Structure 1
């Protein structure tokens, strides 16, 4: 048995590698630069985690996804493997401690975002670590043609100078041919071994259905397939509305979106993972790191922003190899809705300039200042103050985040930090006058010795446990101490946290990054056009269309998508259909849905026959949408 397989079985409890994991691992162990294109669910993380465990030293993993980094670190730690993630919101001194641990504590994995490489002192510390492998996850972010381009990824290539003998492993789940070539060029991969697992998923039936009544069709799909399902929507409001509609029709459902607290996200996800509910309705905030094998149906109620996202989300179905469905529900108004949501809200350069300028004013940052300053941020308040459209503003902030000008984080909304702002003798006096508060305050002072000198990250759960109290009482006391001006309290329960990564230079800052804005806006327009083509094309196999987009050619139709089924379905004789409808209407008036249900004919056949009968003046349609014989 190979050493790699032993490690896989020992830590991951898998009996064998999936194709092409073992080949990728061997390439890395041979010291070669490697590019791996593996569709979602293909087991990318195994490709760097196993070889890292086989070598002395530490694996550096660069990823833009904070939630995924945390998830992987947590999973490694549960396996007894030492791993650390340098995510945002960690104080300078804590980062020093974590990097010391990496250097001297026999750690195997260090996860960080590409933005961290822009900090020279962090880069200097990393240069001294015994790095055995550099894994770049979500590598499409390095390409300006990728669907989530982040200029900070362009900094990764400088690691080549410091670690010339260390293998680079670039991993992505979705990249067109142009993006793949760009990744290899931008990362300066040296004669890389290239592994591309086919995007073809034989067990997934890709379906596109045109319907005026999405809820009705949704009910039919979920009744026919009662196994675990994910319904993707494009906003938080639709999450709640869809759950309420499903529950009112007897389905069990929960929801997941970026606005939920970490505890709520965990609670809702657990309900679905443990199959206490059939359906989870989610925005695209849901899915990264989620590996539930028996998901039967993925349903998109709205058009996705691009086919890369659609393929990744659809690919969460059928990971157990059983037949599964990826369904896109369409109606005529969806195109206008998608254009309004994805294109009309794209910021141009003047708007970007205005948002950045007002953002600095909002936090009273003077010209030439602001670097590394962090603020709690409420998007609605900001937009209300300057009369900005919310979605367009959010997109502008996201663009600035991807360019590394700011960090916009929604991961730390529950964080609390405090600092005592009165002398220690005054704190002692306060405790003598308020003995009920003494135990908690003493616990805080013992736990955080530097709390007089600086804002200190505060863990209310830990303090509650140490002081034999409850988290609610601890937070209530903090609020009281803040009101009495004993402490300075920052409770980051706002929409987000914003960190400024560079000094304020207004137009100079925007001029530097705006060259990417026009290219990104053009790319987003092209990507949405590809989605519209996929949803509207009625003469090509859906699996074929997806494969073409990702640069693959398949000769045979899949045989299971909505196109293939409609093509293979026996065509009904229009006269026979008309006769069945007339026979029904002799009994009573019916609407088109009931006619379809009672005749057990396809929607297209029924509508075609009804139109003929109306044109021939055989039937009429009433104001209540019931068809009647004349």
Structure 2
């Protein structure tokens, strides 16, 4: 039998494991239930993929992230490893075929969402599979204290009854001590071996800067560190606006959010990955599966929703081991903005009830029906029809998704339909005169024989695959045929796909999950308070604050965060700079840019001196973003 290192070299082309991958693999191979806490980028998937390849049978992987499942299945298939994912929106007949393939086709990995385990017939089929390992990704979702609790995860423990001798491997990148204890109980892990890779990243300098002029400070940071950067913002609008501002300042930048088409996501990503754009401005839709080693700076232009997300997002810096920076820029108005963005828009039970009811009406789903039905969905159109506030509605839908009532796939899509409006003889004549277009046109006609009679939905990816042409070439031809009045073409855009996982029962459904809504809203409020504390605490090392949140105690200050550096700068020179600033503020209130110009002092020195003056309450920031003496 191949050893673990043999498998790693053969399929992943690595010669060594990262700590503690090898120990986790050994624990699983010994048949032990195992809990692995590894920071983002730590290589969690290797911990179940390698031992699964070393044994006969199939590894069952439970994951809530559809895009990540697809990505991992694709990567395994590219390595010649047989893998399948049961994502939402797959009809029962297709699921049966896929499970038959798992049972008789020598497959090594079956990925599925936790909601699939709520179907008794799927559980019955899984019971008959030769399972060698059960891996639970994003395992913090099983705990109501986790930042992404999904009740469907509670069903996973049922697999213990069917596979009492098969080890469970629970993996997570972000779990507080309370969540760790809870997930061991909820997953019924038996005397689990627990592996914790320290969350401490010694090469990342965590910085928090209070500034009234974010763009000015942002431009100085990215000018000083010319390597790849990610700037996180909280809205799609802020993505495009920030890119526009940075480009006007001479920086190369691109953006990424959930409202982009797959093609645009790919092209924008390529610009950044190939160093043609220094800066990626993104919402939190960006990051999953991104492994760019030389990211120098992560900047949060707005406050993050919780420290779990912040740690994962900031952890995308410095993966090459070189010094990197994770920066939060905030000002006096950010607390109000964060509360409006994350807390004020949390749905209560009454709002959740009406959103679910209107959603069913929107898609004309009758009471007692709707299970497994799938629809393209545009959030703005839905909210416009019923005059719902967009953010609050999105949070309601996201909550329904996490409870397994619906599956909300936030992937921008373009729904394309065509109809030939000239006779078949004329089409043949066109092809004879334009032989370069013949392959694509014949592919369409053979795939959709009724396309002369009515508008027909066309699968663009299928056409590109069958005709062996790129998507751009196919779309360009469609546009040309439309302009020549050969076809009629309708292109509809949607920013999501919704799948109903249950029959419509309105209040009965909402009553069942309402208790989780109350707990979730309370937790989200507490998590934002932890973010505010992290940002406002000016007397503690930032690394100590962050590690403490995740249950780790640092014995000494990190020496590189904004607090530690400001502490070092408290010298006679700092005192002189502070006096200069105070003299300027005696005359008038000023912003940091004006202070820097008038004092002719280095930017960094001005920033740290202002931080110290704020800490000691000598100055304060006014609502118009200027500093004044207290």
TM-score (norm 2): 0.87
How far the C-alpha of 1:460 sits from its partner, in A, is 2.5
| Whole-angstrom CA distance in 2 between matches of 1:72 and 1:478 | 38
| Whole-angstrom CA distance in 1 between matches of 2:35 and 2:524 | 25
Q: What is the aligned partner in structure 2 of residue 592 from structure 1? A: 595
Q: What is the aligned partner in structure 2 of residue 102 from structure 1? A: 102
| Whole-angstrom CA distance in 2 between matches of 1:443 and 1:306 | 50
| Whole-angstrom CA distance in 2 between matches of 1:93 and 1:448 | 22
How far the C-alpha of 1:27 sits from its partner, in A, is 0.5
Partner of 2:44: helix, strand, or coil? coil
How far the C-alpha of 1:113 sits from its partner, in A, is 1.3
Aligned partners of 1:375 and 1:499 also within 8 Å: yes
Q: What is the aligned partner in structure 1 of residue 15 from structure 2? A: 15
Q: After superposition, where does 1:181-260 map in structure 2 within 5 Å?
A: 181-260=181-260
Matched, 1:286 2:286: yes
Q: Provide closer, same or farther for how the CA distance between residues 492 and 73 of structure 1 changes in structure 2, counting only shifts above 3 A.
A: farther
Q: After superposition, where does 1:78-477 map in structure 2 within 5 Å?
A: 78-411=78-411, 413-414=413-414, 431=424, 435=428, 443-444=443-444, 446-447=446-447, 458-463=458-463, 466=466, 471-472=474-475
How far the C-alpha of 1:176 sits from its partner, in A, is 0.5
List runs of 5+ in structure 1 lacking aligned partners. Answer: 421-426, 616-622
Aligned partners of 2:581 and 2:595 also within 8 Å: no
Aligned partners of 1:460 and 1:474 also within 8 Å: no
How far the C-alpha of 1:581 sits from its partner, in A, is 7.3
| Whole-angstrom CA distance in 2 between matches of 1:255 and 1:192 | 42
How far the C-alpha of 1:18 sits from its partner, in A, is 1.1
How far the C-alpha of 1:357 sits from its partner, in A, is 1.1
How far the C-alpha of 1:194 sits from its partner, in A, is 0.8
Partner of 1:209: helix, strand, or coil? strand
Q: What is the aligned partner in structure 1 of residue 519 from structure 2? A: 519
Q: What is the aligned partner in structure 2 of residue 602 from structure 1? A: 606
Q: What is the aligned partner in structure 2 of residue 562 from structure 1? A: 562
Aligned partners of 1:412 and 1:492 also within 8 Å: no
| Whole-angstrom CA distance in 2 between matches of 1:114 and 1:578 | 57
Aligned partners of 2:584 and 2:595 also within 8 Å: no
Alignment RMSD: 3.6
Q: What is the aligned partner in structure 1 of residue 58 from structure 2? A: 58
List runs of 5+ in structure 2 lacking aligned partners. Answer: 432-437
Aligned partners of 1:592 and 1:626 also within 8 Å: no
| Whole-angstrom CA distance in 1 between matches of 2:579 and 2:224 | 29
Q: What is the aligned partner in structure 2 of residue 619 from structure 1? A: none
| Whole-angstrom CA distance in 2 between matches of 1:413 and 1:92 | 23
Aligned partners of 1:157 and 1:186 also within 8 Å: yes
Q: For each residue in 1:478-534, what CA deviation from the matched residue of structure 2 results, as whole angstroms up to 9, or x when unmatched?
A: 999xx999xxx9976312222211111111111001110000000000000000000
| Whole-angstrom CA distance in 2 between matches of 1:106 and 1:172 | 28
Q: Provide closer, same or farther for how the CA distance between residues 383 and 625 of structure 1 changes in structure 2, counting only shifts above 3 A.
A: closer
TM-score (norm 1): 0.87
How far the C-alpha of 1:89 sits from its partner, in A, is 3.2
Q: Provide closer, same or farther for how the CA distance between residues 386 and 32 of structure 1 changes in structure 2, counting only shifts above 3 A.
A: same
Q: For each residue in 1:58-99, what CA deviation from the matched residue of structure 2 results, as whole angstroms up to 9, or x when unmatched?
A: 111111112211221222222222222222233443333332
Q: Provide closer, same or farther for how the CA distance between residues 458 and 577 of structure 1 changes in structure 2, counting only shifts above 3 A.
A: closer
Aligned partners of 2:596 and 2:606 also within 8 Å: no
Q: For each residue in 1:418-474, what CA deviation from the matched residue of structure 2 results, as whole angstroms up to 9, or x when unmatched?
A: 9x9xxxxxx99964686569987874575479999xx99853243356468852378
